[in-house]
Amino acid sequence: MTKILFVCYWHGCRGEGLSYKISQHSFFKTLEAEVVGRTVIKNEFFDKKFLNSWMPDMSSLPEPTENIVVPSHYFYEDIAKHFPDASYVSIDVPKDINTARQKLHDRFNTYQTDNLLELVGECENRVRDLNPNASKQEVFEFASKILKMKDVTFGDIRCLSRGLEPTEENKQKLINEWHPAPLSTQAIENTLVIPFEDLDKINVDDIVDYCNKSNGSL
């Protein structure tokens, strides 16, 4: 039986980096990623649908034939009923929120890419953050505006999606609004919880052992 491991985390909590690190273990199919200041997953079995700001259509998802790691902005309580046999890791929220915000600013607001799909995906996510029912035309118009800009950063995109000038002050203002919610009781009781502060200390063998021992919920 193939194993799916969902790495569940709020945006900004370094889940792509952890997912990539875990996937490098021989137990899993290795994710393709770019590591330049931050880890960006380039190719994932579900096409990074669990990182979108809207829930994927579960009925349309393919069945994996290899053990896979799936980074997800959705948590155990959101997806376990669809994947009852999967294993789940949850990254806890940072204890020092101010330091985490500044590091997020450094990783995210300054990030640039020439990858067209990545840019368009970021545009769609930012539009749907504010308007989940946005039309394809609305997304297209915003993405077209962004693609005409030179040296655009993800911080610029976030500001512009909210009608703000992409100044350093406005980028910092939006970062200061970032306050990830605590993990739910369901997540704490049914997943392997990793403190944000311990991400660099993780022994991947321990996570693989957890996957082999768990069958869905702990």
Residue 179: how many other CB atoms lie within 10 Å:
10
pLDDT score recorded for residue 217: 44
Query: DSSP assignment, residue 182?
Result: P
Angle of the 168-176 helix axis to the 154-161 helix axis, nearest 10: 80
Domain limits of the chain?
A: 4-94+181-213, 97-176
Q: Tokens 């000038």 belong to which residue? A: 165
Cα separation of 99 and 47, whole Å?
31
Instruction: Let me know the angle formed at the C-alpha of 65 by 62 and 69, rounded to the nearest 5 degrees.
Output: 80
**Other beta carbons less than 10 A from residue 181's beta carbon:** 8
Entry pTM: 0.90
Give the model confidence (pLDDT) of 85-128 as tens digits: 999 999 999 999 999 999 888 888 999 998 899 999 999 999 99
d(CA 173, CA 109) in angstroms, rounded, equals 11
